[in-house]
Structure 1
Amino acid sequence: MDDNRTNLKKQAILELIGQKGGKSSACLSGDWTLSNLTIDASLQKNIKQAANNSHLHWDLHSVNVLDNATALWLWQAWGQSLPAELEIKPEHLRLINKWQSQTVPDSSSPGFSVALTANYLAQMMANVFKQFLDFVTMLGQLLLDIGHLLRHPGDIPWPEISITIFESGVRALGITALVGFLIGIVLSYLSALQLKLFGAEIYIIDILGLSIIRELGPLLAAILVAGRSGSAITAQIGIMRVTEELDALSAMGISHSLRLVLPKVAALTVVMPLLSVWTSATALIGGMFSAQNTLDISYQQFLIKLPDAVPLLNVFIGLGKSAVFGLMIALIACHFGFCIKPNTESLGNETTNSVVAAITVVIMVDALFAILFMDVGMP
């Protein structure tokens, strides 16, 4: 018997009394908690129906427990205003008054708005313009640092340059060789299928030579370095921001540009042409391997015909593009690294932005080179 009474006290009860002093009354009793409201869905429906009567008298004196979430729910059911006639305990009234002084966010969908869309586009353009200004500022500071090093060669940060060359160049030889070799095999195999139809198997040397040395070799190496080394540079600078190492360098009077940006730019500008040659060589080896198996073109025949099919000028075009790719990848990686705020979420976002921006810029620069040197180096 006592257990039944205890359970009744813990339940949320709503009683609608027809007449009390000539007015209808809604009496609430028991424990008005979020769990009780969730269990009894009909209770929520009855409260909302009763709240539609603006002349209803509300009696909450018998409520034993009223939690914060239920107070918010009652406040919203009443139309975010207290009923004209309300009897409630002072401690429960304070809970409702707390929501009365706060703005509850609207969970409904805002829908399409021309003004909001225009504002979003304006903010996006302003952000892009700011990023561009910061990038140009970094490039200008880099030129000033180069001028300083020309006057003071003893300040050249050789250790930072050498470690970046090792990390971005030497340790990337394996993955670039593997990707280059496989791309050479795929390109040679697909080209062989079409050349067989016209009896022009020997022209596979021209196709592989021009496409790999002039375009695919530098582009593949740049994309791999942007994803591998570019992200590492951005994350490294970001970690220095999070651990306040950048502030420590500033406090000691050490230039961020001279010690962080310039070594990475110099290293990648030197490394990228070398990686481009390495990737092109492995891709040509893969192409020779596939051509020998599919078209019966020997390795000796391939190597003898290659210099005639590909003028030497194409090699210099590939090397020049690779140097520009390395410069842009390093600058973009450092730029986004300095954009990182001292929190882990910003670190992940800016590292992703760095890789995406670097690969996009590499492809855009490659397209620009293709247009500018369209008639240069053709056999």
Structure 2
Amino acid sequence: MTDAGALPLPSPPLTGDAPAGPDAPPRLEALEPRAWRVAGDWTVLGLRGRYDELRQQVAAIQADTPDALWDLRTLGRLDTAGALTLWQGWGGKPPGRLLWLPEQVTLFSQFMQPTALPRARPQLGPGLALAAQRLVGFARHGVDLIALTGRLLLDAVQMVRHPALIGWREISANVFRTGAQALPITALVGFLVGLTLSYLISKQLKTYGADIFVINILGLAVLRELGPLLAAIIVAGRSGSAMTAQIGVMRVTQELDALSVMGISHTVRLVAPKVLALAISLPLVALWTSALMLLGGMTAARAQLGLDPAQFLHTLPTVVEPANLWLGWSKSMIFGGLIALLASHFGLRVKPNTESLGQSVTQSVVTAITLVIVVDAIFAVLFSNVGL
């Protein structure tokens, strides 16, 4: 018998049953009123489904007889799970009378450190726990996005100093994919939205005899707000998702790791061309969408109010100030850079599996559309007196 804190020398086993054979169930054997033998296999498999039961048995014995003798020398197998079960049953400290083998000391010594055992965390309700988890995830996304923006700015300085680093072909390809190839869908959606909007406005204005003001309302709403916003939402769903999927597939196929091994910056090769290309192409797509929305509105005004298209086109420049057009273009440029930056951010966070790829694409589209609407609302408040 030794003190718990010292390395013991092997002692002859107490009288009783023979050591347990292989795959023996874990058990406690009473040798005498104040002596207990720990026998069997105290392992993860052996303790399966009996952790609480055996822990409570050990705790009850320790509480009833604090000076009880514990003999661990005839244990069949002992791993960390079994040692932790005994340790917790003893109350987080070795008993005063303990017989153990030198190789068993290592398993228990890890629990003698103050930071070895996991600390009990305060339990939150399901709603608070979910809210806290989402808040932490949102904060991590924010930190990573700021870090990506910082790396992009630093690499932009390097590209300005060394123009050979700029991927002109990649920028050109992204302008074509995000701009030229998006013209048909934006034209269709823009024309139909303008048609519907003008039809509803005309119905109301006709009631008050203010037919001509349909040009004011439609021109201001389309060039200032609806055109850039609608184009950004379509591009976020169409091109933003494609960017995220492209970078995510590169993660799955380990192409990003290959770029890192070759010393090629991800922001220079992948992020910067996408951000620059979308910041160039989206204002043009927004102008195209606004033109088709005005065409649809002009068609509805002709059918509903009998308004001549020539009069519509002649009156539009006089009632809508150029500042509204420049404001829409500026917003579109910011929208484009933001969509590409978010798409790259979520693409770089993809893990090498298909499930993570699908989740990242969904998060990219939803986040981009949400932030576009938020930024548009901020612009509407800050520039509420411009062009009106």
Q: CA deviation at 1:103?
A: 4.1
CA contact (8 A) 2:227 2:287 kept: yes
Corresponding position of 1:284: 294
Alignment partners' CA distance in 1, 2:337 and 2:350: 21
**One-letter amino acid of the structure 1 residue matched with residue 278 of structure 2:** L
CA contact (8 A) 2:191 2:295 kept: yes
For residues 17-32 of structure 1, the aligned pairs below 5 Å read none
Corresponding position of 1:173: 183
Alignment partners' CA distance in 1, 2:262 and 2:198: 56
Pairwise CA RMSD: 2.0
Matched, 1:314 2:324: yes
Task: Kindly provide the CA deviation profile for residues 132-173 of structure 1, in whole angstroms up to 9, marking residues without a partner as x.
Answer: 010001101111111111111122110110110111111000
Matched, 1:148 2:158: yes
Q: CA deviation at 1:102?
A: 2.4
Alignment partners' CA distance in 2, 1:118 and 1:290: 51
Q: CA deviation at 1:120?
A: 3.1
Task: Kindly provide the CA deviation profile for residues 55-102 of structure 1, in whole angstroms up to 9, marking residues without a partner as x.
Answer: xxxxxxxxxxxxxxxxxxxxxxxxxx9xxxxxxxxxxxxxxx998632
Matched, 1:267 2:213: no
Corresponding position of 1:324: 334
Corresponding position of 2:47: 101
Alignment partners' CA distance in 2, 1:118 and 1:175: 43
For residues 123-272 of structure 1, the aligned pairs below 5 Å read 123-272=133-282
Q: CA deviation at 1:114?
A: 3.8
Corresponding position of 1:10: none
Corresponding position of 2:78: none
Corresponding position of 1:336: 346
Closer, same or farther: CA 359–103 of 1 in aligned 2, 3 Å: farther
Alignment partners' CA distance in 1, 2:46 and 2:160: 68
Alignment partners' CA distance in 1, 2:124 and 2:214: 55
Q: CA deviation at 1:121?
A: 2.6
CA contact (8 A) 2:298 2:312 kept: yes
Q: CA deviation at 1:226?
A: 0.3
Alignment partners' CA distance in 1, 2:290 and 2:125: 51
CA contact (8 A) 2:236 2:339 kept: yes
Corresponding position of 2:381: 371
Corresponding position of 1:55: none
Alignment partners' CA distance in 2, 1:200 and 1:366: 29
Secondary structure of 2:264's aligned partner: coil
Secondary structure of 1:278's aligned partner: helix
Q: Which has the higher helix share?
A: 1
Closer, same or farther: CA 103–116 of 1 in aligned 2, 3 Å: farther
CA contact (8 A) 2:165 2:268 kept: no
Q: CA deviation at 1:119?
A: 3.4
For residues 113-132 of structure 1, the aligned pairs below 5 Å read 114-132=124-142
Q: CA deviation at 1:319?
A: 0.1
CA contact (8 A) 2:194 2:296 kept: yes
Q: CA deviation at 1:303?
A: 0.5
Task: Kindly provide the CA deviation profile for residues 201-228 of structure 1, in whole angstroms up to 9, marking residues without a partner as x.
Answer: 0000001100000000000000000000
Closer, same or farther: CA 312–355 of 1 in aligned 2, 3 Å: same
**One-letter amino acid of the structure 1 residue matched with residue 260 of structure 2:** S
Alignment partners' CA distance in 2, 1:156 and 1:114: 50
Q: CA deviation at 1:309?
A: 1.0
Alignment partners' CA distance in 2, 1:117 and 1:259: 42
Matched, 1:355 2:370: no
Alignment partners' CA distance in 1, 2:126 and 2:223: 49
Corresponding position of 2:97: none
**One-letter amino acid of the structure 2 residue matched with residue 101 of structure 1:** L
Task: Kindly provide the CA deviation profile for residues 331-378 of structure 1, in whole angstroms up to 9, marking residues without a partner as x.
Answer: 100000011100000000110000000000000000000000101101
**One-letter amino acid of the structure 1 residue matched with residue 48 of structure 2:** Q
Q: CA deviation at 1:117?
A: 3.8
Secondary structure of 1:340's aligned partner: coil
Alignment partners' CA distance in 1, 2:182 and 2:209: 39
Alignment size in residue pairs = 277
Structure 2 residue ranges without an equivalent (≥5): 1-26, 28-42, 51-122
Secondary structure of 1:102's aligned partner: coil
Task: Kindly provide the CA deviation profile for residues 3-28 of structure 1, in whole angstroms up to 9, marking residues without a partner as x.
Answer: xxxxxxxxxxxxxxxxxxxxxxxxxx
Alignment partners' CA distance in 1, 2:327 and 2:131: 38
Q: CA deviation at 1:258?
A: 0.1
Query: TM-score scaled by structure 2?
Result: 0.69
Sequence identity, in percent? 53
Closer, same or farther: CA 252–103 of 1 in aligned 2, 3 Å: farther
Corresponding position of 1:37: none
Task: Kindly provide the CA deviation profile for residues 29-53 of structure 1, in whole angstroms up to 9, marking residues without a partner as x.
Answer: xxxxxxxxxxxxxxxxxxxxxxxxx
**One-letter amino acid of the structure 2 residue matched with residue 151 of structure 1:** R
